[in-house]
Structure 1
Amino acid sequence: MPGAALFWTRMLKLGVVLLGLFLLDQLTFVLLDYWLLERLGFERVFWTNFSMGATLFAAATALYLAAVTVPAYSHALEPATRKMFLLAGLLVGPLAGWVLCDRYLDFLLMLGGGSFGKVDPVFGLDHGFYVFVLNGLWDVVLTLLGAAVILVVSSALAASVARRRLGEPAGMSRLVTLVGLASTPCTRVAVASLGALVAAAIFLDRYGLVVRENAKDVDPALYATSVFNGATHVDVTGFFSTYNAYFFTTAIALLMTVALVFLMRCLALAVERRSSGDAWRPQAKKAVLGMTLLLAADFAFLGAISLRQLLFVTPNQPVVQLEYIKRHIDATREAFNLEAIEQVSFVPKDGDDPLPTVEQLMAHPTLKNAPLWPGFVSRIEALVDPQHAWRVLQTNGDIVVYGPTAKIYRNQQKLRPYYDFMDVDTLRYTIDGEKTMLASAAREVPLMEPQPWLAWWGQQFMLFTHGHGLVMSPTARVTKEGEPVYYSSEIPTRAKHGALEAGRQALYYAEGAGTMAYSNVGGMEELDYPTDEGRATVTMKPDEATSVALDTLLKRLVVGWRSGQFWEIVFSGLIGPETHVHYHRTPLERIDRVAPFLFLDTDPFAFVADGETLWMVNGMTVSDRFPYSRYEMLGDMADERSGPYFGRRHRRINYVRDAIKATVDAFSGEVSLYQIADEPVVNAWASIYPGLFIPREEMPERVRAQMQYPPQLLHIQFDDIYPIYHMKDPMTFFNMEDMWDDADEVLGPMSLNQATLQGQAGSASKSTTFSIEPFYWMADTGGVLPAARDGSAKLQFVQSMVFTPEKALNLRAIPTVYQDGDDYGRLVCLTVRKGHYHLGPEQADASIDQEPGISQQFGWWQRQGTDVVRGHTTVLLVDGEVIYLEPIFILSQQNPVPQMKKIAAVIRGKARMGDTLEEAIRNALDAARIAQQSEAAARPGALVTREGPEID
């Protein structure tokens, strides 16, 4: 045994040393955060977080250390044995502290949360209790439960060691003897504490009645309850209810704890007195029988609830559940801000309605800003759709499936191998007095992955430190060659309009800047941009950025360790006190270090404002404890651009608000957070971190003019929630009478089929359909869309989605969010009147496929060895007309860069192509006018004079 004791002592010492090294490694993250937040001016944020985390770490460490070591001293063990318990405590305690300190946000929110001003109907508690307090209470209870378990185990081990010399009484089995040996007063106190905490956890769990999920799917064939979230009829009514079951089970847990402690005392006395079986067995049997009866009673109570559900509730649905369905609908609509949606009835122009002229349409600002060059839109789905994987295989990973604009930018504006475009965004600027929609991309030096041409570590960290400028082009303009018309391009970047000019074009902070970078390196200058003579260099002044000076040995050690270049950073003669390091350089990472409580939309965008290049990140406040509200997944797991932020890009929530707009200066890294919402969660965080948020009224106009609604929020509101929860009536909701589905579009390269290869007229290549995600366009309000409240923002830069009825393809709804002026965040849903038919996007795509002239052109291109790429199908509203636009790209085998060869337009079901947008609109209008006249002539008694071009 001495050999075994020595072995375990050494193993525990090794564990303590390894744990110390692990905690030292974690301390480097803390130091980096401190230095960064100090430079950003958020030192108070760091100390708020650190003080709470340190308090939790110390409390949990002391609690678990005591739970392990107190039994050793209570049982008066030998010094060598007590040393082993102490080592175990030094191992378990800090581990528990490290786990608990990671929950510091829960405790900050519990102490600083406020009120929602609404109470739940079951417990009569303010919603703030569930959103702000409940998670923190669970952290406390679970921490105490863990400590109680450790205390029971430690006490049992200590008792067994202390009493191992006691023999085995006659008539007592080995197992019973072990229990008796372990059942000292200390162990019984530990078991009693554990039982009391289990009872407390059961009692606390009753609050989960109003936030629990009853069904994960809204398909009527799959759910077993008509109330998807929150308490139901059987939960809160009658004696045999789930509400009463929590009280009953809590009492059972306490009584079982008493019986168990009594049994332990009987066995302990039997071992101490070496009693015969006749002395202790009757009392033990009584205790076991009592616990068995208590368990049976608990199961019987729960069984009675299930029987009541089966016999009295289910047969009477939905009548008995209507009240609870109503609670669920109202709570979900409030939690996802659906109550703010203005639902407007809409009947698209059709049939005999007069057709507009080409001149009227082309003069409209919506078509002047037609999104022919849309920005990259990531697929906002929980998992990568199988059709995405198929499409990637089909094109050998060609990104043109997801964004031809990005493909062309890479081909024409990358210009050097070390530059690249991580994303293309859609922005609006006021140019020559007119609001203009532009595609925009940042020319970066993406270093998220090792590059083969960066052989020396200094190239990656000291030479190629930043990107250069933004590339921009209007979404509606196309050259004769089918390429964008650039308003900002080349190196150094040249802008054709003053609103697009940036004084400092270096982009140190960008989406692809996944590594550290160093400035003011001794004897070496950074590459600013390439020139005909070689390269222009730059040395950043220390006061120009929020970088951290490597002016102490500790900073060099920490930065070297965390960068993976320890020896180079510590011993390099190039690094001196004047050297500065830039880290956490992606906008998502940087905002996350300042405000980790926010959920960030993973698609930040860069814009020029007053000569500065800024990144904007949409920050949302979320909760998973809003009573009765439905749970959904917020975020984009398929978004690879989120990079190091991957751990927090997807979250299960049942409450969300668009609350914060954060900006990051692309040159200096300076961070600003603007509070744009007045809602309880963000107000709670504002009280916890005074001065962290800048009020909306103080937001610079240059920043306000570029605000965009988070596309991931729009997606969860309208794609996941509103298609079901627009039904406010509980009976309609129960029957799922008016479910919607997101519309689909034909998108990407077309695969050849046999008919196309044989050149048959009217044949169409096979294409894959995708859900239409949120898209941007310019909407003229005051007609079909409600007039903007801000008179200066009548023309709104909006995001929209398109919906069809469930299992149908006709147009049903067009949800839209305004993004300009005082109307920012205004939600409007145009709904096509029930019983009225108008073709939807997939039907519009089908009309393009079925139009003989278009399909013949597709077939001819493909027989020439040219791939045809279908662009995004965009739904535009122009003076009551629904116009579908789709750019058609071609890819040659010699030069696989997309070229916009044609534009297809669908007006009133008639699809036509043209070399330009105006030609496509003209052709579609002519076809619609001919069809209108033909229908009028076919009516009995009609007398129609034909006008317009003749049909060949």
Structure 2
Amino acid sequence: YYGEKTEQYSIVGGPQKELDYEKNGEVTTSFKGKSGVDLSGGFNRAAYAVAFSEPQILYSGAIGDGSRILYNRTPKERVEAVAPWLTIDGDAYPAVVDGRIKWIVDAYTTTNGYPYASRTTLGDTTADSLTDSQRAVVAQQNQVNYIRNSVKATVDAYDGTVDLYQWDTKDPVLKTWMKAFPDTVKPKGEIEPDLLAHLRYPQDMFKVQRELLTRYHVTDPEQFYTGSDAWQVPSDPTQKDGSAVPPYYLSLKMPGEQEQKFSLTTTFTPSGRPNLGAFMAVDADANSKGYGSIRLLRVTSTVQGPSQVQSELNSVPEVATFVRDLRGTDSEIDYGNLLTVPLDGGFLYVEPVYARGGAANYPLLKKVAVSYGGKPVFKDSLAEALNAVFGVEGAEPPPTTQPPTEPGDTTPQPPATGSA
């Protein structure tokens, strides 16, 4: 009943049953939640008929005892209605918590009055090639120079219940709002482990940080004022509108680290140049001790940037043949995310390629492009592409049979394995 696409009001309950699912006929259901406004009385029905310019609300026989009207049904709308003093992240995401689907919404405390701090416009800073009206920050023109991810909110997808949890326990702005509206925000300690396992570092916060770091990574005053070492967020090479490349969530191991971490990543290019300038990743796992820690890898040698890699991939003969053959079947190409991964002193680029067409018109994975050290390849699968780019095609897998044992030997043997 509550989700990212439920933008209109809905009348539930009462004499009109709802279709639940099909199984040897129609199985019906009726809303059992407590949210919404009761439409049993004539006054409420008349008021909402006027509010939504729909006279049928007043006259329809499908509305009666037990009927309720639901509105403000998107996660962002509900959190903003409960706490209008919060700025809402543009990307709510669902998770299953204790057997219920809940939308998780990151929320920020912001101000534009912090002394001696640079201002940014959230609507511009957080826009990228994946931003649309659904994912945009609520406060599009909100100019801020202070932002903290102080609240994690959840919205129950069935009954719309909103819970706000304190996340940044040191934020003075949130502490002030909690005093003004007591019992609105729950303490951080009440976040149950099942919910904590799904929390992640917010994208819009990361976008603000990367935009500011294009200038403020510089520590030399002369370089800072001349802008000679400035960076820029590269354009998404898979799009033609020049929009910024979005950050991507990846499980990766940064140089010098011992284990993989769930991270949010992005790339930088030197201002006005296409080559790679830096790679940034933040520990995005809320259960990690290093949650929120940012690592910045500065590229000191000439490494191709995203647009250069995309251009080089497009020039591979196999790509031209694939595009020509595909368009001959009345299908279109969809390029997936061009992912950048630091690997062994270099950077590995991986991009899936999809075909879309026909009656179904949904994307099907057809090819995978990989580039490493200036060597682009275009193959049918990720495994084939990685083998080709690292020059290990035709490698023989290890034997799949277990080694022989001596008679009477009871020592446990390792299981048979496939390709290493």
After TM superposition, the score normalised by the length of structure 1 is: 0.38
Does residue 364 of structure 2 align to residue 899 of structure 1?
A: yes
Measured after TM superposition, the shift of residue 581 of structure 1 is: 2.3
- Determine which of 255, 268, 274 is the counterpart of 1:784: 255
Per-residue CA distance 1:897-947 (angstroms, 9 max, x = gap):
33221101112111112211100100111189xxxxxxxxxxxxxxxxxxx
Q: List aligned pairs for 1:671-690, cutoff 5 A.
A: 671-677=162-168, 678-690=170-182
Change (3 A) 1:520 1:894: closer
Structure 1 match to 2:215: 724
CA drift of 1:816 comes to: 1.4
Partner SS state of residue 926, structure 1: coil
Q: Which residue of 2 aligns with 1:816?
A: 281
Indicate the SS of the match to 2:391.
helix
Question: Which AA in structure 2 matches 1:556?
Answer: R
**C-alpha distance in 1 between matches for 2:278 and 2:50:** 54
Cα drift, residue 657 of structure 1: 0.8
**Structure 1 residue 896: Cα displacement:** 4.1
Q: Output the CA distance in 2 between the equivalents of 1:653 and 1:786.
A: 34
CA drift at 1:814: 1.3
- Are the counterparts in 2 of residues 906 and 912 from structure 1 also a CA contact under 8 Å? yes
**Alpha-carbon distance change, 833 to 665 in structure 1, aligned in 2, over 3 angstroms:** same
CA deviations 1:865-890 (Å, max 9, x no partner) are 54333222111234555210011222
Deviation at 1:531, TM superposition (A): 3.9
Corresponding residue number in structure 2 for 1:831: 297
Give the alignment partner of residue 599 of structure 1, picking from 82, 87, 96: 87
For residues 728 and 876 of structure 1, the distance between their equivalents in structure 2, rounded to whole angstroms, comes to: 26
Residue of structure 2 aligned with 1:773, choices 246, 252, 259: 246
CA distance in 1, matches of 2:345, 2:227: 30
Matching residue of 2:122: 634
Match of 1:693 in 2: 185
Which residue does the alignment assign to 2:415? none
Change (3 A) 1:871 1:626: same
The code of the aligned residue for 1:641 comes to: Q
Counterpart residue number, 1:842? 307
Cα distance in 1 for partners of 2:289, 2:141 equals 29
Total equivalences in the alignment:
386
CA RMSD of aligned residues (A): 2.6
Query: Contact (CA 8 Å) 1:512, 1:586: kept in 2 or not?
Result: yes
Is 2:112–2:145's contact at 8 Å kept on the other side of the alignment? yes
Could you report, residue by residue, the CA deviation over 1:328-357 in whole angstroms, capped at 9, with x for unpaired residues?
xxxxxxxxxxxxxxxxxxxxxxxxxxxxxx
Encode CA deviations 1:278-309: one digit per residue, 9 max, x unaligned: xxxxxxxxxxxxxxxxxxxxxxxxxxxxxxxx
Alignment equivalent of 1:529, drawn from 21, 30, 34: 21
Shift of 1:858: 3.2
Runs of 4+ aligned structure 1 residues displaced above 6 Å come to none
Alpha-carbon distance between aligned partners in 2 of 1:545 and 1:915, rounded to the nearest angstrom? 51
Q: Distance in 2 between matches of 1:880 and 1:516?
A: 54
Q: TM-score, normalised by structure 2?
A: 0.84
Tell me if 1:705 matches 2:194.
no
Change (3 A) 1:571 1:865: closer
Within a 5 Å distance, the mapping from 1:236-635 to structure 2 comes to 508-522=1-15, 524-533=16-25, 535-541=26-32, 544-565=33-54, 567-635=55-123
Distance in 2 between the 1:690 and 1:622 partners?
19
Match of 2:232 in 1: 741
Matched residue, 2:348: 883
Asked whether the equivalents of residues 278 and 299 of structure 2 are also in contact (C-alpha less than 8 Å), the reply is no
Tell me, in whole angstroms, the C-alpha distance in 2 between the residues paired with 1:661 and 1:597. Answer: 14
Q: How far apart are the structure 2 equivalents of 1:673 and 1:559?
A: 29
Say which of 364, 382, 390 aligns to 1:917. Answer: 382
What letter corresponds to residue 681 of structure 1 in structure 2? V
The Cα offsets for residues 126-180 of structure 1, whole Å up to 9 and x where unpaired, read as xxxxxxxxxxxxxxxxxxxxxxxxxxxxxxxxxxxxxxxxxxxxxxxxxxxxxxx
- C-alpha distance in 2 between matches for 1:924 and 1:768: 30
Change (3 A) 1:583 1:744: closer
Distance 2:327 2:71 in 1: 49
Q: Which has the higher helix share?
A: 1
- Provide closer, same or farther for how the CA distance between residues 655 and 809 of structure 1 changes in structure 2, counting only shifts above 3 A: same
Aligned-partner Cα distance in 2 for 1:618–1:770: 23
1:462-520 deviation per Cα after TM superposition (whole angstroms, max 9, x unaligned): xxxxxxxxxxxxxxxxxxxxxxxxxxxxxxxxxxxxxxxxxxxxxx0111212222222
Are the counterparts in 1 of residues 107 and 153 from structure 2 also a CA contact under 8 Å? yes
Aligned pairs for 1:916-935 (under 5 A) are: 916-926=381-391
Q: CA deviation at 1:585?
A: 1.1
Tell me how far apart the structure 1 counterparts of residues 392 and 314 of structure 2 sit (CA, whole Å): 16
In structure 2, distance between residues paired with 1:557 and 1:735: 65
> Does the 8 Å contact 2:236/2:246 carry over to 1?
no
The C-alpha deviation readout for 1:393-436, integer Å capped at 9, x for no partner, is xxxxxxxxxxxxxxxxxxxxxxxxxxxxxxxxxxxxxxxxxxxx
Q: What is the deviation of 1:894?
A: 6.5
1:658 is the counterpart of 2:134: no
CA spacing shift, 1:662–1:649, aligned 2, 3 Å? farther
Q: Distance in 2 between matches of 1:708 and 1:653?
A: 23
Partner AA of 1:828 in structure 2: I
Question: What secondary structure sits across from 1:723 in the alignment?
Answer: helix
Tell me the distance in 1 between the aligned counterparts of 2:384 and 2:135: 40
Structure 2 CA distance for partners of 1:785 and 1:532, relative to 1, 3 Å:
farther
| % identical equivalent positions | 27
Q: Is the 1:588–1:642 Cα contact (8 Å) retained in structure 2?
A: no
Alignment check: 8 A CA contact 2:276 2:299 kept: no
Instruction: Kindly state the Cα deviation for residue 616 of structure 1 after the two structures are TM-superposed.
Output: 0.9
Secondary structure in 2 aligned to 1:802?
Answer: strand
Structure 2 residue aligned with 1:714: 206
SS at structure 2 position matched to 1:826: coil
Note the C-alpha offset of 1:818: 1.4
Aligned partners of 1:526 and 1:537 also within 8 Å: yes
Query: In 1, are the aligned partners of 2:14 and 2:65 still within 8 Å (CA)?
Result: no
**What letter corresponds to residue 703 of structure 1 in structure 2?**
L
The structure-2 alpha-carbon separation of the partners of 1:557 and 1:723, relative to structure 1 and needing over 3 Å to count, comes to: same
Mark the structure with the bigger radius of gyration. Answer: 1
Verify the 8 A CA contact 1:785 1:830 in the aligned structure 2: no
**Cα offset, 1:562, TM superposition:** 2.0
What is the rounded CA distance, in whole Å, between the counterparts of 2:257 and 2:335 in structure 1? 32
Change (3 A) 1:921 1:642: closer
What secondary structure does 1:922 align onto? helix
The question of whether the paired residues in 1 share the 8 Å contact of 2:201 and 2:292 is answered with: no
Extract unaligned runs of 5+ from structure 2: 394-420
In 1: Cα distance, 2:289 partner to 2:214 partner: 24
- C-alpha distance in 2, partners of 1:879/1:909? 14
Q: Give 1:731's aligned amino acid.
A: E
Cα displacement (A) at 1:796 = 2.3
- The aligned amino acid for 1:546 is S
Task: Report the Cα distance in structure 2 between the residues aligned to 1:885 and 1:857, rounded to whole angstroms.
Answer: 18
CA distance in 2, matches of 1:770, 1:642: 15
Mapped to 1, the partners of 2:302 and 2:162 lie a distance apart of 50
Conserved? CA contact 1:600–1:649, under 8 Å? no
| Secondary structure at 1:674 match in 2 | strand
